[in-house]
Structure 1
């Protein structure tokens, strides 16, 4: 993740070794659905409140479902020292699965951070896969390289590029990548997505982190600039005929789409 992401989440950062012990501050209950048959009556308010509580507990359970090992925890600690925010454990696990399911040999990551998301991606990629990761902060990339070395990843499997992603992405080959992961400055999300689609081969996967943006995106009353940009990014992906999208409620929201 680029330096533009520093400090953009609510509150202070917990130690990476502190397990998730509480639900997010704002977990919204699903909107009531019209019953499809007499056997599915509308939910009462008490039932909706219970669902909201259950969703919070389920989120916490899902985030810890795949425990992170010491290599990942040390990378999280380094991220905290550098002031960058890594993907949450549930998002990382989803990235590993996406990379493995697509046998992603060529992956682009926009926002290196301290290497937490890169480790998750590499663990899902085949042993001959190459991760190209972009960040404006050289110090972040040094931390990521340390994490990759601790993981035992061969140097030839990672390509770190220092610079602005909007300058680097146009230099990459069209249609040559199996997966593109975006986790950088919110202000450039729409532009990153447009360039990512160009890079993907048919069947390739786009993944965008922070797609629910602290649970604000789902609230139409939230109209601050960052929330509006993330909401607009989701709309662009959903309405793009080239993409088949879905929203995964892991971490802070993971927007995924397959290139048709």
Structure 2
């Protein structure tokens, strides 16, 4: 915890903080590589690089699979299929009969994701890929019918997706927001650009929402995890 000099009204620099910061960076890198990725995931990452689309970082991907498995998720929505890196992470954590509904406006991205699903041996009936704008598709999905909804702060309409996600979740369901630290910018109060401010506000909204129980996990580029509480009796 950073100390504060009340007389000078300024933070007190502690040389130990430099060592702690270096250790944290090393620990973060270690955690990112803690769970190795197989050839299917690596090829999906390669396709993402070729197509210029976002791929969830390894630490977030591993945490997402763990959260999905712990939840016993059977019905999941993903906004932004990309080339299937996060999709595979969800599917591998879901129950064997679970179905992933994944939405993306780019047909080429979904084609790449389907190739990854086939390579991973995922049955076609387990992944329902919908091509279109998420804001057009999400309102057509059933209220309170989903165990988990994944969105990314990299999406320009993320705040609107969060609103839709809360409607879609069952009680006890989980909302996961990727890129919730936005390259480290969210934690820096000096960063006030439009995107950083918007991502920071999403975190505040979910943290202060009495209906949601939230935590911000410092893995990958940050995972904001919120569980929908039961309605008051």
Deviations 1:125-175 (A, max 9, x none): 111000000000000000000000000000000100011101110000000
Aligned counterpart in structure 1 of residue 119 of structure 2, from 135, 150, 153? 150
TM-score (normalizing by structure 2): 0.93
Deviation at 1:236, TM superposition (A): 1.1
TM-score (normalizing by structure 1): 0.83
1:77 aligns with 2:56: no
CA distance in 1, matches of 2:171, 2:55: 29
Unaligned runs of 5+ in 2: 5-11
Deviation at 1:184, TM superposition (A): 6.1
Unaligned runs of 5+ in 1: 1-30, 35-42
Match of 1:187, SS?
A: coil
Deviations 1:114-133 (A, max 9, x none): 00000011000111000000
- Which residue is 1:87 aligned to? 56
Range 148-157 or range 43-52, more displaced: 43-52
Q: Over aligned residue pairs, what C-alpha RMSD do you find?
A: 1.5
1:189 aligns with 2:170: no
How many residues get paired? 223
CA distance in 2, matches of 1:142, 1:131: 16
Deviation at 1:183, TM superposition (A): 2.1
Deviations 1:222-257 (A, max 9, x none): 010110110011111111111000000011111001
1:254 aligns with 2:223: yes
CA distance in 2, matches of 1:168, 1:245: 26
Range 158-167 or range 180-189, more displaced: 180-189
- Which residue is 1:105 aligned to? 74
- List 4+ stretches of structure 1 deviating above 6 A: none
Do the aligned partners of 2:153 and 2:179 also contact (CA within 8 Å) in 1? no
- Which residue is 2:129 aligned to? 160
CA distance in 2, matches of 1:44, 1:228: 27
